[in-house]
Structure formats: structure tokens, C-alpha cells
Structure 1
């Protein structure tokens, strides 16, 4: 095995941060002048479209969401909403405590590291400034590629950019979006991060994977041992 490909949210990020997502929507809604419940519903309902780039970048996405709620924000209000929304997205993507340490350790063991994330524009626009960017050799974002997990093209793209065949790749994620089944079908060896210490995060998972891997760790810190590095 030569490479490890990670999911992002709930795997490399703090699982508890997922509970902050709806609160960040409320802050953005307040700046836009949109009722919080209507904006939240628009964001949730548009998730599939947002994660494949249907609305463009963050500015254009927020404008589309505001208009869908019957509000036409001026440029100053829209710019302020973008700033607020990006700040909220930064909160949601904060690293889990052991993430950077584990990534550095695995790189030290010679693995190439990749990423496949179902994400909207905020992560792509901010990626270069995150602590993950210098540690991930091949990030693959649904928003840029135009399709979501478990689309086989995402897995193939990650392998191509890493220069490693799927059979020599681990895929590590917390489940959802049928990501493990997609990895298995692509020829990778999936690992489930159960997030056993984060029951609230598990309760937020509305799209559990139909396939549960045999290889499992309760937290990211257990991954090196699972892979044979003690």
C-alpha cells in the first residue's frame, strides 16, 4: 500500500464542528437580511447542487440563495455576507486534535496522501491557507470536479494525481455519501473512522454508508497502528 486517501469533513476536521454548521447559516442569513429558517432550508436543499459547483463561487452562491428566498441584497450587504459565511466555514472545518500530527506521521512512513471531499466553494477557495494544504499531495474537490461521491471518477482522479493504482490505496472516512462503497468499487481498501467519542456527530449523519468496512478505528489517532505502524 503506497497511498492513503482521506475524506475531509468529520474525518480530518473536528467532528463536533458539524453541529456549528446551522449556526453559521443563521449568521450569514442575518447579514443578507433573509429569515434564518428560510436561508437554512435553502442551503440544505441546495447541498447537492452547491457541491458540484452549480452556482459558482461563494459570492454567487449566496446571491442565488438570497434570491431564492425573495431577497435582492446590495453589493455591500453581499460582500459582508461572504465574509461572514467564510468565517463560519472556517469554524466548521477546524482540524480535529490529532489530524495534523497523524498526517505528518503517515507522510514520514512514505505514504502519498490524497483527499476526496464533497464540498462547496468555501473549502476550495480557502484550501491553500489551511493547515492541510501542505500535507495533502492530491486534493480532489467535488465542487471543482462537478460530481460527488461515490462517483467513480472522483476516486480515479485521486489515484491519477497521486500516481498510485487504486489497489495500493487506503481510503479513510467517517462514512456517508456511500464513500466507502465507492472506494471499494474503485478497488481501494476502505477504513471507517467510527468517531465513537462523538455521538452527536454520528447523529447528524443523515446518509450513512450502505457498506461498512472491516477495517475500523474509533479516531484518527488509531490509524497508524491499524496500518501497521506502531
Structure 2
């Protein structure tokens, strides 16, 4: 196994930060002049379209959703809303404790590292400035590709960009978006991160996976032990 492909939210990010998602979106609503609960509902219902790029970038997305809520923000208000929304998104993508050191360790061990994320425009736009970017060899974003997990094209794209056959890739994620089912179909070896230390975090996952992988870990740092034991058993 030469490569490891990670899910992003709730896997590389701090699962507890997911609890900030509603608060941060409602802060954007306040800047736009939209009733917060109405805006939150509109953002939630538009999620399947937003993550495949149907609404465009963050500025166009916020304008479109605000209009759905009966408000047409002017350019100055929209500028402030975009800044607020990006700041909120940064809070939600706070790294999981210790995960950056884990990525550094895996790279030092010779693994190629990839990413497949069902995400809207904020992550794609901010990615080069994140602490993750220099550590991930091949990031694949649903917003950019126009497909969402478990679409096999995402897994094939990640493997191709890493230059590794799918059969030589681990896929590590917390189980949203039926991602492990997709990884298995793609020929990868899936690993479930249970997030056992984060009560309630799993309930925030969209379209949870009914397939339960053979390999399960509670924390991402347990992956190092799993990789070692897998190698020893060969």
C-alpha cells in the first residue's frame, strides 16, 4: 500500500468544530440581513447542489441563497458577508489535534497522501493558504470536479493524480457520504475513523455510510499502528 487518501471534515478536521457550523452560517446571515434560521435552512437544503459547484463560488452562492430568502444584498454588504463566511469556514476546518504531525510522519514514511472532500466553494478557494495544502499531494474537491462521493470518478481521479493504482490506496474517513462504500467499489482499502471521543459528531454527517469496513480506528493517530500491523501481517 503506497498511498493514503483522506476524507476532510471530521477526519482531518477537529470533529468538535462541526458544532460551530450553524453558528458560523448564521453569522453570515446576519451580515446579509437575512433571518438566521431561514438562511441556515436554505444553506442546508442547497448543500447537494453547492458541493458540485452548481452555485459557483462563495460570492455567487451567498447572493443566490440570500435572494432565495427574499433579500438582494448590495456589493458592500456582499463583500462583508463573504469575509464573514470565509472566517467561519476557517473555524470549522480547524485541524484535528495532532493531525498535522501525523501527516508529516506518514509523508516521512514514504506514503503519498491524497484527499477527497465533499465540499462547497469555501474550502476550495482557501485551500492553498491552509496548513493542510503543503502536506497533501493530491487534493480532490467535489466542488471542483462536479461530482460527490461515492461517485467512482472521484476515487479514480485521486488515485490517478497520485500515480498509484486504487488497489494500493488506503481510504480513511469518518463515514459520511457513503464514502467507504465508494472506496471499496473503487478497489481501495477503507478505514473508518469512529470519532468515539466526540459524542454527537457522527450525527452531523450527511448521507452516512451503511457499509462498515473491517478496519476501524477511534482516532487518526491509531492509523500509524494499523499501518504497522498491516505491514507486519504481509
TM, length-normalised to structure 2? 0.97
Instruction: Tell me, in whole angstroms, the C-alpha distance in 1 between the residues paired with 2:205 and 2:85.
Output: 22
Aligned position for 1:102: 102
Q: SS of 2:81's equivalent?
A: helix
Q: Does 1:137 align with 2:137?
A: yes
Q: SS of 1:134's equivalent?
A: helix
Aligned position for 2:45: 45
TM-superposed deviation, 1:98: 1.6
Q: Deviations over 1:113-163 (max 9, x none)?
A: 000000000000000000000000000000000010000000000000000
Instruction: Tell me, in whole angstroms, the C-alpha distance in 2 between the residues paired with 1:98 and 1:185.
Output: 30
Aligned position for 1:210: 210
Aligned position for 2:173: 173
TM-superposed deviation, 1:184: 0.2
Instruction: Tell me, in whole angstroms, the C-alpha distance in 2 between the residues paired with 1:206 and 1:107.
Output: 30
Instruction: Tell me, in whole angstroms, the C-alpha distance in 2 between the residues paired with 1:205 and 1:89.
Output: 16
Aligned position for 1:182: 182
Unaligned runs of 5+ in 2: none
Q: SS of 2:213's equivalent?
A: coil
Instruction: Tell me, in whole angstroms, the C-alpha distance in 2 between the residues paired with 1:66 and 1:191.
Output: 39
**Distance of aligned partners of 1:48 and 1:209 in 2 relative to their CA distance in 1, 3 Å threshold:** same
Instruction: Tell me, in whole angstroms, the C-alpha distance in 2 between the residues paired with 1:106 and 1:133.
Output: 15
**Distance of aligned partners of 1:206 and 1:60 in 2 relative to their CA distance in 1, 3 Å threshold:** closer
**How many pairs are equivalent?**
230
Aligned position for 1:29: 29
TM-superposed deviation, 1:203: 2.6
Unaligned runs of 5+ in 1: none
Q: Does 1:121 align with 2:121?
A: yes
C-alpha contact 2:177 2:206 (8 A) present in aligned 1: no
TM-superposed deviation, 1:206: 4.6
Instruction: Tell me, in whole angstroms, the C-alpha distance in 2 between the residues paired with 1:157 and 1:35.
Output: 40
Runs (4+) of structure 1 moved beyond 4 Å? Answer: none
Aligned position for 1:63: 63
Pairwise CA RMSD? 1.0
C-alpha contact 2:12 2:99 (8 A) present in aligned 1: yes
Aligned position for 2:163: 163
Q: Deviations over 1:171-202 (max 9, x none)?
A: 00000100000000000000000000001212
